Amino acid sequence: MKIAVLGASGLVGRTMLDVLSSCPWVDEPPRLLVSERSAGRRLAFRDRELVCEEVSDKALADLDVLLCSAGRVAAARWAPVAAQAGALVVDNSSCFRMDPDVPLVVPEVNPCPAWAPGSGGRLIANPNCSTIQIAAFAAVLQETCGLDELHAVTLQAVSGAGQRALDAWRDQRTGRDGAGAEVFPRPIVDNVLPAIGPAQRDGSFEEEAKVVRELRRILGRSDDLRVSCTAVRVPVHTGHCAALRCLLPQPVDRQRILKALAARPHMVPAPDAHAFTTPREIQGSRDVHVGRLRVDPGNPHALLAWVVADNLLKGAAWNAVQIVESCLGVGPTGAAG
């Protein structure tokens, strides 16, 4: 299987290499594609060192699978090139997420149709990192008891904004308060920032708008699903949290929902209403962790939950590899799907 990772030197790209190295169906080392800035950099894959090369038409001409995690601009330029050359392309940026011709997939929620090398190119979008973990949880509610409204407050780790954000956070911790002004609107150390991405006309910031529209798309819903989100950047290395309030069409049956969550692959619900996981505890986990599951004391139709996942894994690299496994029908995801 000829696989390439575009953006291999980035946070998500390096996590993709880790995930791919654990996949038995990956039978040859992936090509590592980057911009001219990182060409020549060496990265480990299994017991070898691979050299990054600058992305080009030629490098994309003969691939089975392209995992793309190089941002919107590079995705717009290169993802269609690889798809037109016949590859299955999974893109992590927001470039194609709302394109009606491009599926937006969380494999546990809306698996994609089968694909085989040589059957023609296909482009699939990986959703926003917070949206993935919220969608995985919300889909269980929707299937089990229906879902009328979902209100989220997300607490998003610094690594969600890429390597530059992590570098700026580290600089700020050593006293350079002005570091990272291009990534964070105010200092992130000892702080929380309720502003992620550019401001939108309706009073939201871009990250919040992404969660609303992507969640509806993944769940197959439109405006009939009322969704709101306040997205907050927090001074945590890795691991996004979402505090959710979900309104159901019927009084909440907590035990039924717990049972449905526990039956779901890659979902780890805590049975005790006081139990919870934290970003530090779930770093490196591929699962979605659900805690503080309880009925809102003020409304028997409202369910409250605390949902935590590793943004680099379930929020990005692992979800992308799961999509490939699902399409190819290989690995645990493909076999299950």
Ligand X SMILES: NC(=O)c1ccc[n+]([C@@H]2O[C@H](COP(=O)([O-])OP(=O)(O)OC[C@H]3O[C@@H](n4cnc5c(N)ncnc54)[C@H](OP(=O)(O)O)[C@@H]3O)[C@@H](O)[C@H]2O)c1
Of the candidates 52, 145, 229, 240, the residue annotated as catalytic is 240
The yes or no reply on residue 109 touching ligand X (CB under 6 A) is no
Min. distance of Cβ 145 from ligand X in angstroms? 29
> In this structure, what token pair is assigned to residue 52?
């990054």
The yes or no reply on residue 136 touching ligand X (CB under 6 A) is no
> In this structure, are strands 42-45 and 48-51 parallel, antiparallel, or unpaired?
antiparallel
Q: Which of residues 230-259 bind ligand X (CB under 6 A)?
A: none
> In this structure, what token pair is assigned to residue 154?
């997300």
User: Judged by CB, which is closer to ligand X: 34, or 257?
Assistant: 34
Which of 107, 279, 315, 334 lies at the binding interface for ligand X (CB under 6 A)?
Answer: 315
The yes or no reply on residue 93 touching ligand X (CB under 6 A) is yes
**CA neighbor of 123 nearest in space, from 54, 63, 58, 66:** 66
The yes or no reply on residue 320 touching ligand X (CB under 6 A) is no
The yes or no reply on residue 279 touching ligand X (CB under 6 A) is no
The yes or no reply on residue 285 touching ligand X (CB under 6 A) is no
φ, ψ of residue 211 in degrees (nearest 5): -60, -45
Which of 227, 244, 257, 312 lies at the binding interface for ligand X (CB under 6 A)?
Answer: 312
Binding segment (CB under 6 A) for ligand X, from list 176-184, 186-194, 275-283, 308-316: 308-316
- Does the annotation mark 129 as catalytic? yes
**CA neighbor of 80 nearest in space, from 98, 62, 60:** 60
Contacting residues for 11 by C-beta, under 8 A, at least 6 apart = 159, 162, 163, 166, 312
| Residue 334 parent element (H or E) | helix 331-336
Residue nearest to ligand X (CB): 10
Of the candidates 52, 68, 112, 129, the residue annotated as catalytic is 129
One-letter amino acid of 224: D
User: Judged by CB, which is closer to ligand X: 86, or 162?
Assistant: 162
First to last CA, the chain: 20
Query: Contacts by 198-205 with C-beta closer than 8 Å and gap 24+?
Result: 204/229, 205/231
User: Judged by CB, which is closer to ligand X: 92, or 326?
Assistant: 92
- Does the annotation mark 23 as catalytic? no
Number of amino acids touching ligand X (CB under 6 A): 29
User: Judged by CB, which is closer to ligand X: 141, or 310?
Assistant: 310
Buried/exposed 110-126: b ≥16 CB within 10 Å, e otherwise? bbbeebeeeeebbbbbb
User: Judged by CB, which is closer to ligand X: 91, or 147?
Assistant: 91
Q: Which of residues 14-43 bind ligand X (CB under 6 A)?
A: 34-35, 37-38
The residue with tokens 């050359």 is 85
Q: Which of residues 147-186 bind ligand X (CB under 6 A)?
A: 159-160, 162-164
Which of 31, 53, 63, 92 lies at the binding interface for ligand X (CB under 6 A)?
Answer: 92
User: Judged by CB, which is closer to ligand X: 21, or 299?
Assistant: 21
How far are the Cα atoms of 44, 59, 62, 187 from residue 3, in angstroms, in the given order? 16, 11, 9, 39
The yes or no reply on residue 311 touching ligand X (CB under 6 A) is yes
| Residue 65 parent element (H or E) | strand 65-68
User: Judged by CB, which is closer to ligand X: 231, or 247?
Assistant: 231
The yes or no reply on residue 282 touching ligand X (CB under 6 A) is no
Min. distance of Cβ 323 from ligand X in angstroms? 13
Binding site for ligand X (CB under 6 A): 7-13, 34-35, 37-38, 55, 69-71, 73-74, 92-93, 129, 159-160, 162-164, 311-312, 315-316
Q: Which residues are catalytic?
A: 129, 240
